[in-house]
Amino acid sequence: MQKLLPLAALVLVAQMPAEARIYTFVNMPLTGSQAGNPTSSGKGFVNAMYDTATKTLTYHVKFELTPNATATAAHIHGPGDVGVQGLPVKYELTGVPSADNGSFGGTLVISGTDETELLTGKWYVNIHSSQFQSGEIRAQLFENSSSYSGVVYDSSTNTFAIKDIVIPKVGVYDAEFLIQQSNTLGFTVTKAGKTR
């Protein structure tokens, strides 16, 4: 004979919140070609972590622009796929140094519908400059948490633990490369597990 749960138990089950998850966006490359600017020599990386419990996106950006260009603004744009230009600004990123290179970071709280766009690769970071006012370098944000096991970002130490990273439509980055680049990424990078 099948045992039925009391009504109170069913109500409790129905009210349980969804499990919180941490998603990462590690070493999203900033390039001029993604922004439609093949003459730009600008480059950089975006690192970010998204917490579904707090709806908070923590980000850090490191960049170098074309010589004599000055960063004027940085935004998250979307929704749209790789190569689609001129999308609306979703969020302004603050603290951008008015220089041809530097780094900045911060946090922002996003809404529920924006969460879906972020986690399906529909957003990009765009850094605008005095030479490329519509945006000099761009990085499409692809969530790459599945490349890792366990928690990969420690907010108390600002540290990523990284294995090989497969970034869709961009390529494979291995931990040794990332460790060599750690000083320019703005994060301390430590090896976790085997690399290829």
Assigned token pair, 114: 């924006």
* pTM higher than the cut 0.75: no
Total Cβ atoms within 10 A of residue 177? 16
For each of the domains in the chain, give its residue range(s) and CATH number, in order of start. Answer: 19-145 (2.60.40)
SS3 state at 182: helix
What burial class does residue 41 get, using C-beta atoms within 10 Å of its C-beta: 0-12 exposed, 13-18 middle, 19+ buried?
middle
Assigned token pair, 1: 């004979």
Q: What CA–CA distance (Å, rounded) separates 71 from 3? A: 66
E strand residue ranges, 32-97? 43-51, 56-64, 71-77, 89-92
Picking from 51, 38, 16, 1, the residue whose alpha carbon sits closest to that of residue 151 is: 51
Per-residue pLDDT of the chain (196 residues; tens, 9 = 90+): 444 444 443 344 444 445 567 788 888 899 999 999 989 999 998 988 888 888 999 888 999 999 999 999 999 999 999 889 989 999 999 999 999 999 898 889 998 789 999 999 999 999 999 999 999 999 999 987 765 444 444 555 555 444 333 333 333 444 444 444 443 333 333 333 333 2
